């Protein structure tokens, strides 16, 4: 059974992006359970939000590429918060 947070993101269709465990683990280190900022984000939330972020990247941030850095981390975090935890916005 999917949580309401995962349901909020799961309407997206897979686009064949190759998600690395490195970025997911990097996100979990910050925002996962027991992370620096423990928002309790899950692997699935991070992967779906990363997919959405990558599809929007060229439109919202022309000329920028996904680097898996702190900028991408914070933008993916914001997508999860806006989508799954709107009361925090």
Domain boundaries, the chain: 4-88
Chunked into runs of 10 residues, the chain (89 residues) has average pLDDT values of 54 46 93 96 95 93 93 97 88
Cβ distance 86 to 9 under 8 Å? no
Q: What is the pLDDT of residue 42?
A: 96
Q: What is the pLDDT of residue 6?
A: 55
pTM across the whole model:
0.77
Q: CB neighbours of 88 closer than 8 A, spacing ≥ 6? A: 81
Q: What is the pLDDT of residue 53?
A: 96
CA distances in angstroms from 32 to 15, 28, 55, 77, listed in the order given = 24, 4, 23, 11
């Amino acid at each position: 059974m999917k949580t309401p947070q995962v349901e909020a993101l799961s309407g997206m269709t897979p686009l064949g992006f190759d998600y690395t465990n490195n970025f997911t683990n990097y996100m979990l280190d910050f925002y996962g359970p027991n992370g620096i900022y423990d928002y309790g984000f899950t692997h699935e939330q991070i992967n779906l939000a990363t997919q959405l972020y990558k599809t929007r990247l060229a439109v919202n941030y022309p000329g920028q590429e996904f680097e898996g850095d702190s900028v991408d981390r914070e933008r993916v975090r914001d997508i999860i918060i806006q989508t799954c935890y709107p009361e925090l916005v």
